[in-house]
Structure 1
Amino acid sequence: MLTRRPVAVTLAGALCLAAAACGASPEPTSRAAAGAAAPGYPVTVDNCGRSTTYTKAPDRVVVMNGASVAEVSSLLALGLGDRVVANAQSYGMSEVPGRAEAIKKLPTGDVTLNDAYDIPREALIGLNPDLVLSTTSYGFDAKNGFATRDELEAVQARSYVSPQGCDQDTSRMTVDDSYTLLRDLGRIFHVDDRAEKLVKASRERIADVEAKVEANAKAKAGATAGAAAGGEKAPNVMVVFSNMSMGGNDFSSIAAQGIWNDVLAKAGGANAFASASGTSFADLSKEKVAATSVDALVVIAYNDPHPAAYARELLKEFPQWPAAKNNRYTVLSDSIYLGPSNDLAVEKIARMLHPDAF
């Protein structure tokens, strides 16, 4: 059996960590709403049942951990890294050259993080932010010692929860949510043109991959007019975090529902374990995993310096898989999560599944 590191924090491109305290002001105001509006403002963003109006671009941004890099990566992709006064997100690796290093260089606010590796209430308020970003509403939950959205409003700070994070359920997340995040940040910071450029480039790259996969499938099916990617069964792909334990069974870090399923579909694949759970992760026995036919393996590396070695060990452990017989695997990090780089994950997976298409 492969050894796995236990984790105190649930992962997922979009999973959550911690929360906050109570209280509110009778008449919430904000630095972002005070005074005359800057050019291009005001703009109003609807978020988790709140309508927030900005009259200028925030310049003291705090990024909560949330077991994600979606928010900080999106800020960097939009050229807004200089607005960050404290970032709690990190991943250590990225499909985007230089991104992990850029994240590491961002200020942390010199705060002491809590047991969930996130910024507690008093420390957050002490940073004097004008915008706080969180992957899910869990990052503003009072029960775990985090500042609530009302508390932040009372000290003139805006807050934003990323798409599908309002109810802390990321199982419905798709690539379109990554585009919504970019566009919302584009509006908030009045860099809509940058956001649209990123979305357009991502859509075009994914469309190009899908077209190549479809053309390849048609060629294999004899180039008949009706033959498409659906003409033959999409390969079953196992998406799993390397050396990670999230539950009680041998395999508790298998991705079941969420943005990775949309990424797989766009790459011409299907999640082999989508039916195993209605939530983001499946917690399965070795016997259940062994009984599932896996055509290809995607290993997501999180704080694991040797994810490829983990993939090879896993294929060796299940030699009956077609993936093992064909040595078919790839390693990803942040591109398969919510964030600005899903097109990179789509292309890398498609090249593994359909090499003849490229």
Structure 2
Amino acid sequence: MSKKRPVAIVLAGALCLVTAACADSSTDKGGGSGDKASAAAAKSGYPVTLENCGVSEKITEEPGRVVVMNGASVAEVSTLLALGVQDKIVANQQSYGMSEVTGRADAIKALPKGDVKLNDAYDIPREAMIGLRPDLVLSTTSYGFDEKNGFATREQLKQAGANTYVSPQGCDQDTTKMTVADSYTLLRDLGKIFGKSAQAEKIVAASEKHIADISAKVKGEKQPKVMVLFSNMAMGGNDFSSVVAKGIYNDILAKAGGANAFENASKTSFADLSKEKVAATDVDALVVIGYNDPNPAAYAKKLLKEFPQWPAAKNNTYVALSDSMYLGPSNDVAVEKIAEMLHPDKV
């Protein structure tokens, strides 16, 4: 399949997301079954209200028919797996075919796809979405609810009985300021939605500790210049059109004791660079991200051979990653693997 369209969609997303869990202020004054229902709801932790991209979503019970849209992401489905609520998914369109987390790729592959015909963006069109009878629809960006692109809108889904959620940073589709903290926001939001806040906090705490321990080991060390790009991916007109400039990737690099060699090459999340520009830049290390690519390491080796003048080529310094570099529950894995590459004597 063509990889250009869906990847450009998700990697151009951004969020202004504020969350708040609160009890319903209305109560049944008539007594009887209403009082019992309110007491049961309070005990379960519901209702929960999220203010998400300007839309107020009130979740009255744990979702049981969840649809995960594609968005060229695995952030949402991986977070659901981490929270242990994969049995609630009736249709999942997210997959990279690989993961740094043992068993995750197979677990994603085993999820139901909903048996629907996808549109040109490899996602679920309006009528098919309504036909799935979801009670919760997750989209990486607001694009997934854009009527102009043939998707069901958030209002249409609300009328059909479904809550909706747009992930960090998907509201205005600008990922340049995304950080690892946004992955924690996603975990906490979905934790609230599914009544798994304690599990979400446990995952966040473990990730924060893991990253803090690694960052402490590399503190004060020289920060090698790292090139981050997607393997065999075309997103623009130049030879190197999928080079990372800004976003969560830079936060991960910084926590691992590195810096982006091409951070100033673009004001957007990605730089579209000529071969000459790439060749003229000192690259100390290479991070290749695999998106449905069975062998991103082979692509990394090809680049090192193509640019023998790089310090990265002279020292054979590269790592191939996939989902841990994105929004999602496993950014600490990427921090560890990159730190091991950049500072092997410290980590």
- Alignment TM-score > 0.5, same fold: yes
User: Structure 1 residue 164 and structure 2 residue 169: aligned?
Assistant: yes
Q: Report the TM-score when normalising by structure 1.
A: 0.87
* Unmatched 5+ stretches in structure 1: 17-34, 215-227
Q: For 1:8-47, list aligned pairs within 5 A.
A: 8-11=5-8, 14-15=11-12, 38=41, 39-47=44-52
Q: Is the 8 A contact 2:231 2:290 kept in 1?
A: yes
Q: Is the 8 A contact 2:91 2:114 kept in 1?
A: yes
Q: Is the 8 A contact 2:225 2:261 kept in 1?
A: yes
Instruction: State the match for 1:155 in structure 2.
Output: 160
Q: What displacement does 1:13 show?
A: 6.4
* Unmatched 5+ stretches in structure 2: 14-36
Distance 1:335 1:178 in 2: 11
Q: What displacement does 1:326 show?
A: 0.7
Q: What displacement does 1:11 show?
A: 4.6
User: Structure 1 residue 197 and structure 2 residue 202: aligned?
Assistant: yes
Secondary structure of the equivalent of 1:86?
strand
Q: What displacement does 1:15 show?
A: 4.7
Distance 1:306 1:54 in 2: 41
User: Structure 1 residue 346 and structure 2 residue 346: aligned?
Assistant: no
Secondary structure of the equivalent of 2:7?
coil
Moved over 2 A (4+): 5-16, 35-38
Q: What displacement does 1:8 show?
A: 3.2
Instruction: State the match for 2:107 in structure 1.
Output: 102
Q: What RMSD in Å do the two structures reach over aligned CA positions?
A: 1.4
Instruction: State the match for 1:31 in structure 2.
Output: none
Instruction: State the match for 1:178 in structure 2.
Output: 183
Instruction: State the match for 2:274 in structure 1.
Output: 285
Instruction: State the match for 2:82 in structure 1.
Output: 77
Q: Is the 8 A contact 2:324 2:330 kept in 1?
A: yes
Secondary structure of the equivalent of 2:6?
coil
Q: For 1:203-352, list aligned pairs within 5 A.
A: 203-214=208-219, 228-229=220-221, 232=222, 234-352=223-341
Q: Residue type matched to 2:224 in 1? A: P
User: Structure 1 residue 130 and structure 2 residue 119: aligned?
Assistant: no
Distance 2:208 2:218 in 1: 15
Distance 1:174 1:13, change over 3 A: farther
Distance 1:50 1:276, change over 3 A: same
Distance 2:4 2:61 in 1: 40
Instruction: State the match for 1:221 in structure 2.
Output: none
Q: Is the 8 A contact 1:43 1:53 kept in 2?
A: yes
Distance 2:8 2:296 in 1: 16
Q: Is the 8 A contact 1:299 1:332 kept in 2?
A: yes
Secondary structure of the equivalent of 1:355?
coil
Secondary structure of the equivalent of 2:345?
helix
What count of residue pairs does the alignment treat as equivalent? 320
Q: Is the 8 A contact 1:13 1:337 kept in 2?
A: no
Distance 2:225 2:158 in 1: 47
Distance 1:6 1:13 in 2: 12
Distance 2:98 2:161 in 1: 34
Distance 2:122 2:10 in 1: 16
Q: Report the TM-score when normalising by structure 2.
A: 0.90
Q: What displacement does 1:101 show?
A: 0.3
Instruction: State the match for 1:89 in structure 2.
Output: 94
Q: What displacement does 1:12 show?
A: 8.0
Q: Residue type matched to 1:280 in 2? A: S
